[in-house]
Structure 1
Amino acid sequence: MGNVMILGLGGAGSSMATQMYVPLNTEIVLANTDVKALSKYENFQCIALGATNGAAQRAFNPSIVRKAVEESLPELEAAIGKPECLILVVGLGGVTGTVSAAVLAKRMKERSIPVVVAATAPFSIEGERRRIAQQAVQDLNSLDLPTLVVDLADFEKSHGDKPMVDVFRNAVQTLTQMVQSHVNEAELHV
């Protein structure tokens, strides 16, 4: 599959997408309501979601983030183009990535662009975010799209007393392998 694109959504999604860059060797675009967070990714194309409506200041409100993503759809669609496969990378449970993934997955499906959602579910200590992530997975599954999820709580248990940053890094490596396997499988059926 020659034309695969990765779109990192939100803070966690952007971080994971940049870590996937080298292993997957594909084009990456990052999108977030937090312009300051995007500024650290100078080597990647970045899109500030809702830049004209000040969404970054109110990014904890799902309806504001949804409007920001919808406002940014023309810029996102121009950056995405018409890849053979779009991989949406997101940390579920937060607001920007969770809301963006649902809006974009639905829009890309309407455009007949194959979409894979590659996500992490929150650590065990992130209580309410875990509930939000579970609902998000159900919503994404209702779109009948491949959704690859690495549960950070499971990784946390299996990695004992290792620092969370190491657990997260290992989870991203696993998610990258899952994405690569999915892309390779898709190539076999083209």
Structure 2
Amino acid sequence: MKAKIFPFFLLILFLLQPAVAFGNTGSSNPFGFLFPNYAGIGGSFVREDFQKEISFDDTGGLNLKLGFEFYQVLILELDFDYFPQFEGKGTVLEGSQISNQKEERDILNFMAVLKFPLALSHPLIRPSLLFGMGAFYSITDFQKNVGSASVSKNDGETGLSLKFGGSLEITFSDHIVIGGEGAFIQLIGGNSKTEDKIKFFLITFWVAYRF
């Protein structure tokens, strides 16, 4: 599964690289408002709430972000998340037979996130409310054993993703910012509609470089 999802990861990095390069031009860029104010990388703890018949383990995640600030009252972040290996297994009753099922799911999620800073007197601390919308790509390896029969399949699915939550950023210097956020993500749609029941909670800590 990792071999199949890795090219998509490289594609995201390739698409983000030009924006970072332009962002480094700073104030000399006449179209500075079109390019990011900061770029960050972080890690996530992801608690699943898949609401499926078999139970899944929680997982970790990788987060990449580009931030665009508009007069300190609105922030647009382009977020890329990679959540590897949600692993689930269990037994399901199918008619009069017991089905042993195992599922492994990797999720790529790309979204635009609006952050609304809250008023705070301290200039170096910035809490925000956030709302995001984007698209996901999911790869699932599924295996089912019923008696002596075994069925395996691999599916790729796409759909809409929504995100709600809050964040806190602390400025350490002119160029270094650290932050954390807690959020809820809901996946909607998918080719087989299985993602209608997939949602999860995540806590992310990240560090960013301000251009």
Same fold by TM-score, threshold 0.5 exceeded?
A: no
Structure with bigger strand share is 2
Query: TM-score band, normalised by the shorter chain?
Result: under 0.3
Q: What TM-score comes out, normalization by structure 2 length?
A: 0.24
Structure with bigger helix share is 1
**Bigger Cα Rg:** 2
Q: What TM-score comes out, normalization by structure 1 length?
A: 0.26
